[in-house]
Amino acid sequence: MNATVAPVLQRLNQIILGKDAQLRLVLACLLARGHLLIEDIPGMGKTTLALALARVLGLHFQRVQFTSDLLPADILGVSVFETATSAFRFVPGPIFSQLVLADEVNRASPKTQSALLEAMEERQVTAEGDTRALPEPFFVIATQNPSYQLGTFPLPESQLDRFLMRLSLGYPSPDAERQLLLERERRDLLDELQPVLQPAELLDLQQQVRGVRTAPALVDYILALVQRTRELPGLRQGLSPRAGLGLRRAAQAWAFIEGRSGVIPEDVQAVFAAVVGHRLVMSAEREGAATSAEDILAQVAIP
Amino acid sequence: MSDERGIADYLPVATLLRLLLVLTLVYAPHVTHLPLWETGLLVALLIWRALAATRQWRMPPRALRVGLVVASVGGIYASYGHVSGQTAGTALLCLMGALKLVELRARRDVMVMVFLMYFMLVTHFFYSQEIWTSIYLLVSCVAITALLIECQHLGALPPRQTLRKAGVMVAQALPLMLILFVLFPRIPGPLWGLPADAGATARTGLSDSMSPGDIASLIQTDAVAFRVHFDGPAPPPEQRYWRGPVFDFFDGRTWKPSWISRQPLAADAVRYLGQPVRYEATMEATRMPWLLALDLPSDRGLPDDVRLNHNGELLARRPVIERRRYTVTSYPQYALDPQLDARARQRLTRLPKGRDPRTLALAQSWRAQGLTDRQIVDAALNMIRNENFVYTLRPPALGADSIDEFLFDTRRGFCEHYSSAFTFLMRAAGIPARVVTGYQGGTLNALGDYYVVNQADAHAWSEVWFDGSWHRIDPTAAVAPNRIEDGLSAAIDSADGLPAYLAHRTAWRDALKLRWDWLNARWNGLVLGYGPELQQQFLQRFGLGDLRSMILALTILVTGTLALVGAVLMRRAAPARTQDPALREWQRLTRRLARRGLPAHPGEGPRDYIARVQQTHPEWCDALQTALDLYLSSRYLDTPNAARVAELRRAVTAARI
């Protein structure tokens, strides 16, 4: 395990109990400069996770609660007229922070969603003719209620593609939940949490992730996986080239966390479900015989 | 063999049954020369496979299959004394083909069988090259091809159409076959004339000795001995004595040559009289060095390797192992050996000691009466002619003094009895004499203007030396003159043992037989006899004689090009060979693990796989870890590095799994 990442993970594990695998994926997503979508029912610790991450990494954190009446300007920022200078002054919205938690993103109108996602992708905001760069590092954790809940605007497929990973924390294990109940409030623990990294160090780590070696043989494996999703009869739509690139980046980050200088097939497999799950569109008539990411992994031989 | 086969390799029962049918067709002609146990085993395997397919029996375990193969090779060795060569090799091939049935379960196996069957089919030509054989093989070839088509397109066509398609394909191949037949460079001598097999297969024909019953048993086959085309008019039947082996040593039962010598006949030892007869003979293989020629051949225009020896025999340098065509000039009238020296005289009058006292006494009584040599010959002939001697193919068995018993008691015999007894009688009277075997007569085939001499015309007679020359004396002519004039069936009836094929003759059957023989003769001449010389002649007729070497070059060129194109196509079609040396070494390791019953799961990564194996087999832990680390490093983690791959190779080799 990478020596720099290990303490980060250890701290996070103290806050979010019994979710080591998910936490690693969150870190991998962050190190791969991707954005994260967490799909969960409320109260599973999404906000706690985001806060803990911001604390441990020493990132500036903002939270936006999405509602149906939220407007793009509420996120991006707005220009106000300042009488003192007789000029407009841009007041940056909450998106201008290093870690943004977009809570219940599917409750907002598509227009607002789209504004967020565009900013995520471009890493800059264009408002009133001026383009303003977002801070570095920039990491969005969006949470989403399961789509069957009332009053939601499901994110369109094209938007989903912009999240590198989709995770679901899920219920804690009985042991973890017991410990949760025995210990002090999480928020109190969070307050005591000391950062182990500076933002500049995080940027450096992200730079190192890009240098993790992906051998031609591994690229062949990623290609075979992507190809397979395009051939499967149960899928309406296969993976896009962007998904393939994302898979590579995520696998690089995973390998980096594991402390390897190159990516091995197991790294790809570890991130595959998280990277691919929200991008695969099942055919309506095949909904019953859904093809899971695990099925695809079991079908594709490693070249 | 793995049970995991794709749909593409699925083998329907109907196809399997058709394979068995075709296989039976291929095996059928071999039955005549395979050992009985092998025939039984072949039949049993065929029946077993058919039942196993229809009743879905399980395949036998590997140990049993291996045991069967070992036992079969052992059986072949026990039967033949070796496992290669023409007969043993063919027998082994047949057996292995049938044993393939035991593990045959996929379409791919049928493909293997198809090509094996093509090959087995060709081996029939070792044993027979007749017209019927060729037709049979052509039909079988269509059947095999149909099976091949069926395998390529399972269920695409009904069997009848498959068969028709195969027929069309074979027919389309015929012109190519003819072109190759005519133009393909010929190699002198048959490819399969393996000396190890000489005498292994029983061939009918004259042998190098003569005992009572030898010639009578020859008569039983209706095989052709040779065919003769005379340049001019043919000599009359009583002059058509075809001279073969000459025997001058008698041990009381069997006549043999004292020695077989190629010492040539001295020029002053023979005086040819009268008109010469020129003819071309085509002799079937005998595996003996004697060539048959009309009594008495001259050395004029003989082939280089053939010599007229001092006994008046034509001897080739090597035994005749394939059909042979040669031209001879003979003189029906001749004077041979005007002088006999004392040693020759002694050799030619030698008799086994203490045998046949009554015959000795008779001969000496003639000598005591003061008869000349010629008169003694006449006396002996008169005795055979006038006393109640019978010419029969069913003579009674003879005891120790065979000549005495024959001449004075049984008086029933075939030509070998008469020639043997007569020669003995002459020697007992002190007259030099010897036995000559060969053929007598022959049937004219008007269609082809040639004479056929069958094994049924096999004959033995005496040669007696008096008045300064050898004289051909045929005692059989004394007892059965029509044998000489009209052939065997005129002299003997079926009660006397005439073979059925000679006994039941009708005019139309004879005519049919002659036509068939004519066809066979053409076949022999044009197809089987198409060797290097005929090819040369044929090509010269078209002004292509000098092109023979060019054709050879062209053939090599075309074959080479085809082989190259085939190789390129195969290379393209074959799955790309694993390029990464590290992966190759890794697969070497995983194959070994898979043989241990630990295959990787589909999609399982190398690290997870090895971790799983390490859990169940801690004893390999270190070796596997070393190999895994080296593999991951060479293939994924670091830039390609030959030294590391070499290290991996050593680690894989060293791993004790």
Instruction: Nearest chain B residue to A256 by CA: give it.
Output: B637
Q: φ, ψ for residue A101 (rounded to 5)?
A: -105, 110
pLDDT value of position B656: 80
Residues B82 and B123 in one domain: yes
Residues A200 and A216 in one domain: no
Q: Does residue B200 lie in a domain region?
A: no
For residues A236 and A242, give the distance between their C-alpha atoms in angstroms, rounded to a whole number.
17
B474: nearest Cα among B429, B432, B421, B431 = B421
Tell me how close the Cα of A266 comes to any Cα of chain B, in angstroms: 6
pLDDT value of position B196: 40
Query: Does A217 contact B636 at a Cβ distance shorter than 8 Å?
Result: yes
Domain that holds residue B357: 214-505
Residues of chain B with Cβ-Cβ distance to A264 below 8 Å are 605-607, 632, 636-637
| Residue pairs between chains A and B whose CB atoms are closer than 8 Å | 49
Q: Does residue B447 lie in a domain region?
A: yes
CA A61 to centroid of chain Cα atoms: 15
Residues 6+ apart with CB under 8 A from B268: B338
Q: What is the pLDDT of residues A126-176, one digit of tens each?
A: 877 788 888 888 999 998 877 666 677 878 777 788 899 998 888 888 888
Share of chain B above pLDDT 70, in %: 92
Q: Could you give the C-alpha distances from B450 to A235, B276, B483, B521, B588, in angstroms and in order?
A: 84, 18, 21, 9, 71
pLDDT value of position B546: 64
- Pick B606's closest partner by Cβ from A260, A265, A298: A265
| Chain B contact present for A169, CB below 8 A | no
- Final residue of a domain: which of A204, A229, A248? A204
Residues B142 and B220 in one domain: no
- Pick B602's closest partner by Cβ from A218, A263, A298: A298
Q: Active-site residue among B109, B248, B404, B474? A: B474
Query: Does A264 contact B603 at a Cβ distance shorter than 8 Å?
Result: no
pLDDT grade for A290, boundaries at 50, 70 and 90: low
Average pLDDT over every residue of B222-229: 85
- When scoring B583, B636, B644 by the number of chain A Cβ atoms within 10 A, the one with the most, hence best to mutate, is B636
Of A12-16, A208-212, B124-128, B233-237, the one with minimum mean pLDDT is: B124-128
Q: Does residue B525 lie in a domain region?
A: no
Instruction: Nearest chain B residue to A215 by CA: give it.
Output: B636
Residues B179 and B219 in one domain: no
pLDDT value of position B59: 81
Of A96-110, A197-211, B526-540, the one with minimum mean pLDDT is: B526-540
Residues A196 and A175 in one domain: yes
Q: Does residue B568 lie in a domain region?
A: no
Looking at this predicted complex, what is its ipTM?
Answer: 0.86
Q: What is the pLDDT of residues B7-20, one digit of tens each?
A: 456 778 888 899 99
Instruction: Nearest chain B residue to A295 by CA: give it.
Output: B603
With a cut of 90, say whether residue B355 has pLDDT above it.
Answer: no
Annotated catalytic residue B415 = yes
Residues B304 and B446 in one domain: yes
Residues A65 and A116 in one domain: yes
Query: Does B637 contact A217 at a Cβ distance shorter than 8 Å?
Result: no
Q: Does residue B438 lie in a domain region?
A: yes
User: Token digits for B447?
Assistant: 């269609």
Residues 6+ apart with CB under 8 A from B3: none
Q: What is the pLDDT of residues B47-78, one digit of tens each?
A: 999 998 888 788 888 888 899 899 999 998 88
Query: Does A260 contact B637 at a Cβ distance shorter than 8 Å?
Result: yes
Number of domains in chain A: 2
For residues B208 and B546, give the distance between their C-alpha atoms in angstroms, rounded to a whole number.
43
Q: What is the pLDDT of residues B177-199, one digit of tens each?
A: 888 888 776 665 554 444 444 44
- Pick A215's closest partner by Cβ from B602, B607, B636: B636
Q: Does residue B192 lie in a domain region?
A: no
Residues B146 and B234 in one domain: no
For residues A162 and A47, give the distance between their C-alpha atoms in angstroms, rounded to a whole number.
21
With a cut of 70, say whether residue B451 has pLDDT above it.
Answer: yes
pLDDT grade for B540, boundaries at 50, 70 and 90: confident
Residues B390 and B271 in one domain: yes
pLDDT value of position B576: 60
User: Token digits for A296?
Assistant: 């695809």
Out of B141-150, B346-355, B483-492, B592-601, the most confident range is: B141-150
Tell me how close the Cα of A297 comes to any Cα of chain B, in angstroms: 6
| Chain B contact present for A270, CB below 8 A | no
Average pLDDT over every residue of B437-452: 85
pLDDT value of position A291: 65
Q: Does residue B533 lie in a domain region?
A: no
Domain that holds residue A127: 5-204
Average pLDDT over every residue of B565-583: 78
pLDDT value of position B5: 42
For residues B465 and B459, give the distance between their C-alpha atoms in angstroms, rounded to a whole number.
20
Residues 6+ apart with CB under 8 A from B324: B282, B283, B285, B291, B316
pLDDT value of position B102: 87
Instruction: Nearest chain B residue to A303 by CA: give it.
Output: B583
pLDDT value of position A176: 85
Q: What is the pLDDT of residues B109-129, one digit of tens each?
A: 888 999 999 999 988 887 877
Residues A268 and A158 in one domain: no
Residues of chain A with Cβ-Cβ distance to B608 below 8 Å are 266
| Chain B contact present for A3, CB below 8 A | no
Share of chain B above pLDDT 90, in %: 17
Higher pLDDT, B392 or A207: A207
Average pLDDT over every residue of B568-588: 78
With a cut of 60, say whether residue A286 has pLDDT above it.
Answer: no
Query: Does B605 contact A298 at a Cβ distance shorter than 8 Å?
Result: no
Residues A177 and A46 in one domain: yes
User: Token digits for A140?
Assistant: 């969005």
Q: Active-site residue among B356, B415, B417, B517? A: B415
Residues B127 and B233 in one domain: no
Considering only CB atoms, which residues of chain B are within 8 Å of chain A? 580, 583, 601-608, 632, 635-639
For residues A200 and A218, give the distance between their C-alpha atoms in angstroms, rounded to a whole number.
30
With a cut of 50, say whether residue B6 has pLDDT above it.
Answer: no
Q: φ, ψ for residue A24 (rounded to 5)?
A: -60, -40
Query: Does B580 contact A217 at a Cβ distance shorter than 8 Å?
Result: yes
Residues A119 and A234 in one domain: no
Query: Does B602 contact A266 at a Cβ distance shorter than 8 Å?
Result: no
User: Token digits for B448?
Assistant: 């082809």
| Chain B contact present for A298, CB below 8 A | yes
Tell me how close the Cα of A214 comes to any Cα of chain B, in angstroms: 7
Residues 6+ apart with CB under 8 A from B363: B376, B425, B426, B428, B429, B430
Residues B248 and B134 in one domain: no
pLDDT value of position B205: 73
Q: What is the pLDDT of residues A212-256, one digit of tens each?
A: 999 988 999 999 999 888 887 777 778 888 899 999 999 999 999
Residues B285 and B154 in one domain: no
With a cut of 50, say whether residue B626 has pLDDT above it.
Answer: yes
In the numeric block, the tokens 């593409």 are attached to B8
- Final residue of a domain: which of A154, A184, A204? A204
pLDDT grade for B201, boundaries at 50, 70 and 90: very low
Instruction: Nearest chain A residue to B636 by CA: give it.
Output: A215
For residues A126 and A118, give the distance between their C-alpha atoms in angstroms, rounded to a whole number.
10
Q: What is the pLDDT of residues B263-303, one digit of tens each?
A: 888 888 888 888 889 998 988 888 888 899 988 898 888 88
A255: CATH: 1.10.8.80
pLDDT value of position B575: 61
Residues of chain A with Cβ-Cβ distance to B607 below 8 Å are 264-266
Tell me how close the Cα of B191 comes to any Cα of chain A, in angstroms: 49
| Chain B contact present for A302, CB below 8 A | yes
| Chain B contact present for A265, CB below 8 A | yes
- When scoring B601, B637, B644 by the number of chain A Cβ atoms within 10 A, the one with the most, hence best to mutate, is B637
- Final residue of a domain: which of A161, A189, A204? A204
In whole numbers, what is the pLDDT of chain B averaged over residues? 83
Number of domains in chain B: 3
Residues A280 and A178 in one domain: no
3-class state of residue B279 by DSSP: strand
Residues A231 and A113 in one domain: no
Residues of chain A with Cβ-Cβ distance to B605 below 8 Å are 264-266, 269, 302
Annotated catalytic residue B268 = no
- Final residue of a domain: which of B485, B505, B525? B505
Query: Does B605 contact A218 at a Cβ distance shorter than 8 Å?
Result: no
Residues A77 and A127 in one domain: yes
**Cα-Cα-Cα-Cα dihedral sign, residues B492, B498, B501, B503:** positive
- When scoring A212, A228, A266 by the number of chain B Cβ atoms within 10 A, the one with the most, hence best to mutate, is A266
| Chain B contact present for A213, CB below 8 A | yes
Instruction: Nearest chain B residue to A293 by CA: give it.
Output: B603
pLDDT value of position B199: 41
Half-sphere exposure of B424 (CA within 13 A, CB side): 30
Residues A219 and A194 in one domain: no
Residues 6+ apart with CB under 8 A from B503: B489, B493, B494
Residues B293 and B170 in one domain: no
Instruction: Nearest chain B residue to A225 by CA: give it.
Output: B603
With a cut of 50, say whether residue A78 has pLDDT above it.
Answer: yes
Residues B161 and B239 in one domain: no
Annotated catalytic residue B459 = yes
Q: Does residue B68 lie in a domain region?
A: yes
Residues B226 and B150 in one domain: no
Residues of chain B with Cβ-Cβ distance to A260 below 8 Å are 637
A77: CATH: 3.40.50.300
